[in-house]
Chains A and B, each alone.
Chain A
Amino acid sequence: MITLQNIEKYYATKGLKSYILRHVSTTIQQGEFVSIMGPSGAGKSTLLNILGMLEEPTYGTYEFMGEDITSLSERKKIELYRNHIGFVFQAYHLIDEMTVAENIEAPLLYKKIAGAERKSRVADMLDRFNIVGKKDLFPNQLSGGQQQLVGIARALAAQPSIILADEPTGNLQSAQALQIMELFKKLNEEENITIIQVTHSEVNAGYGSRILHLLDGVIKEDLNVVNL
């Protein structure tokens, strides 16, 4: 599904190249649950952003579902966002002016899905995440864990084939974090959704099937998690 070849990312400041990523090459298959780990400044988020096409690599090729991303137009990228990629952020990034239901509905609107279908999908999501009672609340009326649930529900509403999550539990208490991870695992196993998450937590990484260890922009380890 995803093929990275020799991805490099550096910033040139005053003639000095400061590398964020070096020689990153890897392949991720449909249905994998990958955790990117590493200390601060290792380039985890940059890698995730490149995967999410929010950032462009300085060098290297990136193929997403067989298409070369580096030469893709803005319009094409937006098409991919709409149809294949769901983002989940550490700070939830819900739209403050929209209610829970509207937040979930928003990507469907951009995808130009018909009204009835939209309604049923939103209702389905609300149901599934047990937040029906909160559908008319605004984000700032929810707890962090609830907000992140809405964030995931929003990412899922468009039925993406991959979810990119940047420290999805970073702002949450451990109980809530567990709940989110269980959810990811379930989605991965039951719906075959590819999940790539950046995390600091070994525990969280344990939910996945594969761990990429980054250090100073280089993949140090590529482990398969063996579930006991």
Chain B
Amino acid sequence: MFKLNFKIALRNLWKNKTASLINISGLAIGLASCLLLLLYVSYEWNFNKQLKDEANVYQIMINFDGPAGSISGTGPRTPNTVGPALQQSYTSVKAMSRIDDGDSRLIANGRNSFKKRGRFADAGILKIFDYHFISGDQKTALDAPNNVVLTESTAKLLFGTADVLNRSVRFEDKVNLKITGVIKDLPDNTSLQLDYLMPWTLFEGMYEWTKRPAWTNYSWTTLVTLSPDADPDLLNNSIKGIIKKHVSDATSSPMLFPFSKLHLYGEFTEGKSTGGGIEQLRLFMGLAIGILLIACINFMNMATAKSEKRAKEVGIKKTIGATRGSLISQFLMESLVLTLCSAVMSIVLVEVFLPLFNNLLGIKMNIVYANPYLWISLIGIVLFTGVVAGSYPAFYLSSFNPLQVLRKRTPSRGILSVSLRQVLVVVQFSFAVILIIATTVIYKQIQYLKNKPAGYQMNELVELAQDGQLEGKFELLKERLMQSGAIEGICQLSGSMAMYNSNFWGMEWPGSNETERHMVFSQMATTYDFVKTTGLKLVEGRDFSRQFPSDSAAVMLSVSAVKQMNLVNPVGKIVKYQGDNCTVVGVFEDFVWNAPSQKQDPMVVAFRKQQGGYITMRLNSANPASANLAVIERIVKDINPAYPVEFKFVDALYAEKLKSQKILGLLSNVFGGLAIFISCLGLFGLAAYSAEQRTKEIGVRKVLGASVASLMQLLSLNFLKMVVLSIIIAIPVATYVMDNWLKKFDFHTTVSWLMIAMAAAGTITIALLTVSYQAYKAAKANPVDALKYE
């Protein structure tokens, strides 16, 4: 029986090639989309899970006190003292590691020098992370200060081979390090990326200031592994006061948070996680299920439509002794055969499109075929899809009364079957329309943020890390660069223009009260020509200038700072910044330093000569950028020969800020389009069946003198009605959802009626085109053929 059923299933497939193709490819596209999205979800889900004891690794977070016992914010960076203190006083802390930011640092094998991401960390990191050692002993690899562990690709880059144990590299042109281990490259989905790893003791040896205990300098990531029986909540309560114990006026307290959860649950209010990336991930999961559902609906619709033809088969089989069970299993098997074909096709599709998808998202995912979860979930999806898609036709068809189908010849077209099919089409199209509207809104929001003025001129603005000699010889560099004509302006900044990186509180100003002193400002330090180079807009006052020696104790404030501080005539006022009295010399228009979608914190730009970090330059727009950069590179190399010169364009860095919205926009774009495509595929199939089913009616009407146009109208109208209904359902849902989404942003666009109208018109047009092809074909057919058939 099974064999015969299987054979018949294949024959059926072959006989209705177009329908089968529509069915299989529709489902395959749905499955492939679902798989791609789930792949992405699992990629994000497995972020930071490459740990030895995943459930017990915690990151120390710092809660900052707000007014009246509240918590004003939670940060991921800790002082250099908290980790060691915890390890000393709590036996449940089994491993601890402080980890620095992992900046690009110089590493060289002789002349072969590169700036690569090097991280300093306590040796405990090797007990926390599950690094895969190719060579070297992971127990002792970071024990001595002059040790270094390279990743495989760093080793190959420097030496051309991974077999480099005990060889030596030169770090930052200052010290020689012995390679004590080579590890496999880290996967993409870890937040602590690195190209080489060095012991914290080296860090302390090279940079004296990192050695000093600084309980209120929040600069480092600290991870700990707790013993499995430790109660993190209890521990959290116990460690709360540890900073305040050492610094009496400190306003921060540490808190342990599961490290692997931080990536997706990284937003905190009042010291409690309130979500984060998980929301977007849930959205994608919804999208994945939605698309699969659309494809399943197609499948079911096609199968029930076909049922009109297969009713006869059911009737006959019943009279020759088929039970309902055997019929159900036959139809389920047919649907499973189809889903299996689709699954195979979908894997091919995923393999083909994965590189493109990776490229679009800027990540590296791949299908690990050895992963049992992949197969379990794939088989699960296939079974689920097959059973869900096949169940309706299976149960519906098998319930046919043999007499009805055999005697009356026209199969029972129960009210239920037709209306259910219509409901399914409406559901499908509603979903598709919602996706289209969502996509347009997201796209518009991205455009809005992109076009929102940043507050400074970011074109032609490049920045360079102030490494090595560039710090000491900045004035020389400035002079030579200005002379060369390659740049129009240059300034030294404590941070990147495009990356928010520092804030503080505790500023005092005339008339400020106790709570106002808790106000958080963002801060940047610079020297001369800040405004001139960046193209900020000065509202009042002036830039820092050599003509005013007093500028060594001067600050500039942003407009929103002035507003929130309630300063009238701010220029000339004295404020207390970082304990020093400084004169306000200028007020500048707020610029986007943090996320472009959020309101900017009030900002202080202070004059500090010794605090470098980045050199920011405005290229001379009279010359081509490449020529400018070549000149700059030559001069910089001349002054600072040990370091490669790596320019960063500020506008490119700025674009990075919109990354998560862009991914959202991109994914909803692609998958919204696919949803529409699959829906139309289904509509196409349904229209074909409906036309076929009404062949006789069309023939009779034609004989009676109906025109092609009126017949097309007759055939298309039903489908059009369903699509219009879907649009009516989708619009309020989409508007509501997208309004809520937009509310997350301080600056946002609105859901406009024009967008909705366009989405509606687009959907109707596409649906109409799909249906009318079939309608035209049916209407043009020779009526004799249709009538002869009966």
Chain B residues closer than 8 Å to A75, beta-carbon distance: 323
Set of chain B residues within 8 Å of A54, measured between Cβ atoms: 319, 401-403, 406
Contacts of A111 on B, CB cut-off 8 Å? 321
A109 contacts B1, C-beta separation under 8 Å: yes
Given the known inter-chain contacts A93-B315, A97-B313, A109-B1, please indicate yes or no for A82 contacting B321, CB distance below 8 A.
yes
A71 → chain B closest CB, angstroms: 19
Cβ of B320 and Cβ of A102 under 8 Å apart? no
Nearest B residue to A157 via CB reads B320
B411 to chain A, nearest CB (A): 13
Q: In whole angstroms, how far apart are the Cα atoms of A111 and B317 in the complex?
A: 12
Residue pair A110, B323 in contact (C-beta under 8 Å): yes
Is the C-beta of A126 less than 8 angstroms from some C-beta in chain B? no
B4 within 8 A of A: yes
Interface status of B703 (Cβ within 8 A of chain A): no
| A117 smallest CB distance to B (angstroms) | 14
A154 to B316, CA, bound (A): 11
Q: Which of B50-107 contact A (CB under 8 A)?
A: none
**Stretch of B7-15, B128-136, B773-781 on the interface side:** B7-15
Most A-side CB within 10 Å, residue of B12, B313, B316, B409: B316
B322 at interface (Cβ–Cβ under 8 A)?
Answer: yes
Check if B326 is an interface residue, CB within 8 A of chain A: yes
Partner of B322 from A55, A89, A94, A110 at Cβ < 8 Å? A110
Whether, in the assembled complex, B178 has its beta carbon less than 8 Å from a beta carbon of chain A, the answer is: no
Instruction: Pick the 4 closest A-B CB pairs, nearest first.
Output: A82-B321, A110-B321, A107-B320, A54-B403
Annotate B386-416 by CB proximity to A: 1 below 8 A, 0 otherwise.
0000000000000001110011010000000
In the bound assembly, the distance between CA atoms of A74 and B400 in angstroms comes to 13
User: What chain A residues lie within 8 Å of B317 (beta carbons)?
Assistant: 95, 106, 110
Q: Which single residue of chain A is at the shortest CB-CB distance from B10?
A: A97
Partner of B406, one of A78, A93, A94: A93
B320 touches A154 (CB 8 A): yes
B402 to chain A: which residues have CB within 8 Å?
Answer: 54
Cβ-defined contact, A81 with B321, below 8 A: yes
Q: A93-B312, A97-B313 are in contact. Are A49 and B320 (CB under 8 A)?
A: no
- Given known contacts A54-B403, A110-B322, what 18 new A-B pairs fall within 8 Å (CB)? A45-B407, A49-B407, A52-B319, A54-B401, A54-B402, A78-B322, A82-B320, A87-B320, A91-B409, A93-B316, A96-B313, A98-B4, A102-B4, A106-B4, A106-B317, A107-B320, A110-B1, A110-B320
Quick one: given A81-B319, A93-B312, are A110 and B326 in contact (CB under 8 Å)? yes
Which residues of the other chain, A, contact B321 by a CB distance below 8 angstroms? 78, 81-82, 107, 110-111, 158
Could you show 8 A-B contacts with beta carbons less than 8 Å apart?
A: A52-B319, A54-B319, A54-B402, A55-B403, A93-B315, A95-B316, A97-B8, A106-B4
Q: Which residues in A have their C-beta under 8 angstroms from that of B326?
A: 110
Nearest-neighbour CB distance to chain A for B402, whole angstroms, equals: 6
Cβ A95 vs Cβ B313 within 8 A: yes
- Chain B residues with Cβ below 8 Å from A49 are 403, 407
Assembly CA distance A173 to B333 (angstroms): 40
Q: How far is the CA of A52 from the CA of B320 in the complex (A)?
A: 11
Per DSSP, chain B at the interface is: helix
Compute how far the CA of A95 lies from the CA of B310 in the bound complex, rounded to whole angstroms.
9
Chain B proximity mask over A99-137: 1 for CB below 8 Å, otherwise 0: 000100111011100000000000000000000000000
A55 to B403, alpha carbons, bound, how many Å? 7
Q: A109 to B4, Cβ gap below 8 A?
A: yes
Q: A97-B12, A97-B15 are in contact. Are A87 and B319 (CB under 8 A)?
A: yes
* A134 vs B312: C-alpha distance when bound (angstroms): 23
Most chain-B Cβ atoms within 10 A of its Cβ — which of A45, A78, A111?
A78
Q: Which residue of B lies closest to A79 (CB)?
A: B321
Nearest-CB distance from B50 to chain A (Å)? 53
Q: Is there an interface contact between A158 and B313, defined as CB atoms closer than 8 Å?
A: no
From B9, which residue of chain A is reached at the shortest CB distance? A97
In the complex, A81 Cα to B639 Cα: how many Å? 99
Q: Is the CB of A78 within 8 A of B1?
A: no
Closest Cβ of chain B to A140, distance in Å, is 11
| Complex Cα spacing A149 to B1, Å | 23
> Which residues from B are CB-within-8-Å of A82?
320-321
Give A145 Cβ to nearest chain B Cβ, in Å. Answer: 19
Q: How far is the CA of A54 from the CA of B11 in the complex (A)?
A: 29
Query: From residue 143 to 172 of chain A, which have CB atoms closer than 8 A to chain B?
Result: 154, 158
> Chain A residues with Cβ under 8 A from B318's Cβ?
78, 81
Contact residues in A for B315 (Cβ distance below 8 Å) = 93
Query: Which residues B297-323 have CB closer than 8 A to chain A?
Result: 312-313, 315-323
Whole-angstrom distance between the alpha carbons of A96 and B12 in the complex? 10
For the complex formed, measure the closest distance between the CB of B744 and the CB atoms of chain A, giving whole angstroms: 55
**Min distance, Cβ B58 to any Cβ of chain A, angstroms:** 62
Q: How far is the CA of A78 from the CA of B312 in the complex (A)?
A: 17
> Within the complex, what minimum Cβ distance (angstroms) separates A74 from chain B?
8
Residues of B within 8 A of A78 (CB): 318, 321-323
A58-104 residues at the B interface, CB under 8 angstroms: 74-75, 78, 81-82, 87, 89, 91, 93-98, 102
Chain A contacts of B313 at CB under 8 A? 95-97
When distances are taken between beta carbons in the complex, the residues of chain A under 8 Å from B1 are 109-110
> What separation, in Å, do the CA atoms of A98 and B12 have in the docked complex?
10
Taking the closest CB of chain B, its distance from the CB of A169, in whole angstroms, is 18
Q: Which residue of B lies closest to A87 (CB)?
A: B319
Q: Chain B residues near A97 (CB, 8 Å)?
A: 8, 11-12, 15, 313
**Complex Cα distance A54/B402, Å?**
7
Kindly report which residue of chain A lies nearest to residue B322, judged by CB atoms.
Answer: A110
CB distance from A153 to the nearest CB of B (A): 12
Q: Measured between C-beta atoms, what is the minimum distance from A90 to chain B in Å? A: 10
What's the least CB distance linking A96 to chain B, in Å? Answer: 7
Chain A: CB-nearest residue to B315: A93
Q: Which residue of B lies closest to A106 (CB)?
A: B320
> Considering only CB atoms, which chain B residue lies closest to A89 in the complex?
B406
Which A residues are CB-close (under 8 A) to B4?
98, 102, 105-106, 109
A158 touches B8 (CB 8 A): no
Q: Which residues of B contact A106 (CB under 8 A)?
A: 4, 317, 320
How far is A165 from B322 in the complex, measured between Cα atoms in Å? 19
CB distance from A72 to the nearest CB of B (A): 14
Please name all residues of chain A whose beta carbon is closer than 8 Å to the beta carbon of B407 when the two chains form the complex.
45, 49
* Chain B contacts for A95, CB-based, 8 A: 313, 316-317
Residues of B within 8 A of A87 (CB): 319-320
- For residue B483, give the distance in angstroms from its CB to the closest CB of chain A: 87
Residue from B312, B319, B324, B401 having most chain A Cβ neighbours under 10 A: B319
CA distance in complex: A106, B320 (Å): 8
Q: In chain A, what residue has the closest Cβ to B8?
A: A97
List the A side residues contacting B312 at CB < 8 Å. Answer: 93
Q: Tell me the complex Cα distance, A107–B18, Å.
A: 31
Mark interface residues in B692-706 (1 if CB within 8 Å of A CB, else 0).
000000000000000
- Nearest-CB distance from A170 to chain B (Å)? 13
Smallest beta-carbon distance A21→chain B, Å: 15
Q: How far is the CA of A49 from the CA of B315 in the complex (A)?
A: 13
B-contact 0/1 string along A24-45, CB 8 Å cutoff: 0000000000000000000001
**Could you tell me if B319 and A158 are in contact, using CB atoms closer than 8 angstroms?**
no
Residues of A within 8 Å of B324, CB to CB, are: 74
Distance in Å: Cβ of A147 to nearest Cβ of chain B: 13
Shortest distance between the CB of B271 and any CB in chain A (Å)? 65
Give every chain A residue within 8 A of B8 (Cβ-Cβ). Answer: 97-98
Kindly state the separation between the CA atoms of A6 and B185 in the bound complex, as whole angstroms: 88
Question: Once the chains are docked, how many angstroms separate the CA of A158 from the CA of B319?
Answer: 12
Give chain B residues whose Cβ lies under 8 Å from the Cβ of A55.
403
Q: Which residues of B have CB within 8 Å of A45?
A: 407
Q: Tell me the minimal C-beta distance from A93 to chain B in angstroms.
A: 5
Closest chain A CB from B377 CB (angstroms)? 34
The complex places the Cα of A49 from the Cα of B402 at a distance, in Å, of 11
Please, which residues of chain B bring their CB within 8 A of the CB of A98?
4, 8
Shortest Cβ distance from A92 into B: residue: B316
Minimum CB distance partner of B12 in chain A: A97
A107 neighbours in B (Cβ, 8 Å) = 320-321
Q: Once bound together, how far apart are the Cα atoms of A55 and B409, in whole Å?
A: 16
Candidate in A91, A95, A105 with the most chain B CB atoms within 10 angstroms = A95
Question: Could you tell me the distance in whole angstroms from the C-beta of A119 to the nearest C-beta in chain B?
Answer: 13
